[in-house]
Amino acid sequence: MKTFSTAPDFAKQLDAQDKLASFKEAFVIPDPSLVYFDGNSLGMMPKAAQEKSRQIVDEQRLVGSSLARGR
């Protein structure tokens, strides 16, 4: 069993061994120097959700312009 430590080197060691670390790339992280702790949140936005949101806005912009022209 590992002995817990609050030392930054220990945290970096644990990060290096984290099997889930590759999933971090799937999320929008605006400032990697910040630590994100928010119990009332769904967490960082997945990049796929950000792209889908952009797609929906673009599609609705086209629909909206055709409605305004009566088409």
Domain extent listing, the chain: 8-30+41-68
* Structure tokens, 61: 């912009």
- Residue 68: the pLDDT is 61
Measure the CA–CA gap between 56 and 25, rounded to whole angstroms.
Answer: 23
- Residue 55: the pLDDT is 95
Whether 28 and 50 have beta carbons less than 8 Å apart is answered as yes
Whether 46 and 27 have beta carbons less than 8 Å apart is answered as yes
- Residue 71: the pLDDT is 58
Q: What is the mean pLDDT of each run of 10 residues along the chain (71 residues)?
A: 86 93 92 82 90 93 70 58
| pTM given for the model | 0.62
Whether 44 and 25 have beta carbons less than 8 Å apart is answered as no
Q: Among residues 35, 41, 39, which one has the least CA distance to residue 11?
A: 35
